[in-house]
Structure 1
Amino acid sequence: MNNEYEKFLRYQQKFSLILFDIDNFKSINDNFGHKAGDKVLKEVASLVKNNIRKIDLFGRWGGEEFLLVAPNTTLSQIKNLAEKLCHLVAKYDFGFKQPVTISLGFAQIKTGETVEELIKRVDKYLYQAKKAGKNQARGEVN
């Protein structure tokens, strides 16, 4: 992410972030066991990796949270990607009676903004998505 921030500072090449977590993940672990939880983490990660560009950076952020750094994306593109990922996970059959969904926050870096400020903003949008009922993407709109 620091490389993308350096490109932004030097060349004004904007990048976007998606921060998401697996809804009700504790319930999955409690009801189906930690092996099932690990399976969900791996399969969600695989779904995302198979639906992003090679230049995108994706990884586990902590716990059941994941972060995606998308270089050279518009706000519209990152919104569409966040909504696509949300839909892909929701319709995927994980093999449980309990549905598996994700909530996402997304934003594009703004002029004068630090990486830490961008992460805080994206985290705020993730919180809004969870508070609004989960299984959705929230972020800034043009």
Structure 2
Amino acid sequence: MITYFKEYQEKLLYSLTLVGSSFTYLYGGVHLYNGDYFIGICEVFLSTLAVINVFLYKYHKNFDLAADIILVLMFAVLHLLIITGGLERTGIFWIYTFPLLTFFLKSIKKALVWNGILFSSFLFLVFLQEAGFLKIAYSFVEMRQALSAYLAVFLISFFYSYILKNLNKKLWKASIYDPLTELYNRKYIYQNLELEIERIKRGLREKICIVYIDIDNFKVVNDIEGHVTGDKVLQKIAHIIKNNFRKVDLLGRVGGDEFLLIVENCNVEKIRKRLDSIKTEIENEFTKYKLSLSYGIVKLPEETTDIEKALKMADERMYAM
């Protein structure tokens, strides 16, 4: 599956670390200069961990892990600011960044958990202060007002994220699926073919087969019954082909009645037998229109690793049937 959202998440991770650590280093320096060594050292230490986290991410590329570390560090910073007050008791204002950050870095469910933990821990700090076990920088009234505002920011972030992610999901589906057959569209199937060939070249994939498929005499359906019936027939044929292959195999519609199939770790003879079976099924199902099926199979990397050459070979073999 090709996704683009991760690119923006990575940019946020880098930007957040750069801006956040810069400010925290600055505030840490100010606190050290003013003699507030505890908070100053803590801020410098946490900022350094955030920078190290980004450098490590470039090697392990585990975004969820890097995001969790950022949120843990943010969690620690916010508690430090609530307890100490931060610079001139302005630390409490930074809690409103947490909902925005969690909903962008994590899934909605995980963001809800993170915000629930943070909110509960703040309530626990208030309880400890009211019980006389801990002294924090803010009074009960200040914390009550701040947490009420936090809930408002949290709810706005939640609903915005929920709506945005649902819209993005619909747009993503529209961008990769053919609306008629619900198979992958031309652009997406070709993008995946390019990725598969690149994996072969890098030794990450042993072999694949690409198959061009054409529905013979399909024009007859449109001429006799009209395009509405033609669309229904095409949908049924697409369903037949898809159900005869594995979920890991990719099938896309690349033309009016043409399809492209990408089969992982393929056996040409098995694919040929399966396609012949599909051909027989289509011929029996649509005898009224005398429909049939032609196909061309190319094995990669045995025959070629050039995408244009592979597609041309498959196309020629399909029309030679």
* Shorter-chain TM-score above 0.5: yes
Deviations 1:36-92 (A, max 9, x none): 110111000000111100100001011110111101102222222322222222222
- Provide the rounded CA distance (Å) in 1 between the counterparts of 2:277 and 2:202: 31
TM-score under structure 1 length normalisation = 0.81
TM-score (norm 2): 0.38
Letter in 1 for 2:271: I
Given the alignment, which residue of 294, 298, 310 partners 1:118?
A: 310
Q: Deviations 1:109-141 (Å, cap 9, x if unpaired)?
A: 234531111110000001101xxxxxxxxxxxx
Structure 1: state its 5+ residue gaps. 130-142
Q: 2:255 aligns with which of 62, 70, 93?
A: 62
Do 1:78 and 1:107's aligned partners in 2 also have CA atoms closer than 8 Å? no
Report the more deviating stretch, 57-66 or 83-92: 83-92
The one-letter amino acid of 2:307's match is: V
Alignment match of 1:42 (pick from 235, 250, 266): 235
Structure 2, unpaired ranges of 5+: 1-192
RMSD: 1.7
From 96, 99, 102, give the equivalent of 2:290.
Answer: 99
Distance 1:49 1:81, change over 3 A: same
Larger helix proportion, structure 1 or 2? 2
2: CA distance, partners of 1:113 / 1:7: 11
Superimposed CA distance per residue, residues 10-58 of structure 1 (whole angstroms, 9 cap, x where no aligned partner): 2251100111111111121011110111011100000011110010000
CA 1:48–1:116 in structure 2 vs 1: closer, same or farther (change >3 Å)? same
Percent identity between matched residues is 35
Matched, 1:88 2:281: yes
- After TM superposition, the runs of 4+ consecutive aligned structure 1 residues lying more than 6 A away are none
Higher strand share: 1
Q: How many residues align?
A: 127
